[in-house]
Amino acid sequence: MKNQTYRMTMLYDFYGELLTDRQREFFDLYYNEDLSLAEIAENAGISRQGVRDVIVRAEASMQEIEDKTGIIKRFESRRPHLEAISAAAGEIKTINLRRHEDARLAELAERILAEAAALED
């Protein structure tokens, strides 16, 4: 994956609901709200090290789940294929519009795009 923050955000998007409330809260504040460990510690009334420990445990927990399931890895490996399918369907629509104006062909291209979009979600 691209970088640490991106990787952690992906882990959180896929597995965040499996964390404890406290892990989810601290992780969100640190990665998504861009608060420092000191700021989170002050707001939570605990030490900076305590916040760091909670976040590190959350990261490890989500990484362990990903290591076992490989869901994000499969998601990322399929993304370029879905983009290629969408691009090809878009090109079919353009060629059809310029040369053929076949309603059925346009309908099929739209369906391919809709199915590809559904797989991306």
Find out whether 1 and 7 touch, Cβ atoms under 8 Å.
yes
pLDDT at 3: 87
Instruction: Please name the residue ranges forming H helices in 1-121.
Output: 4-15, 21-27, 37-44, 48-69, 71-95, 103-120
| Residue 18 parent element (H or E) | none
Sequence spans of domains, the chain = 4-69, 75-120
* Spatial separation of the C-alpha atoms in residues 56 and 39, rounded to whole Å: 17
Cα distances from 118 to residues 12, 67, 91, 113, 114, in angstroms, run 21, 25, 19, 9, 6
Q: What is the pLDDT along the chain (121 residues), one digit of tens a residue?
A: 458 889 999 999 999 999 999 999 999 999 999 999 999 999 999 999 999 999 999 999 999 999 999 999 999 999 999 999 999 999 999 998 898 889 999 999 999 999 999 988 7
Pick the CATH number of 4-69 from 1.10.10.10, 3.30.470.20, 3.40.630.20, 3.40.50.300: 1.10.10.10
pLDDT at 1: 43
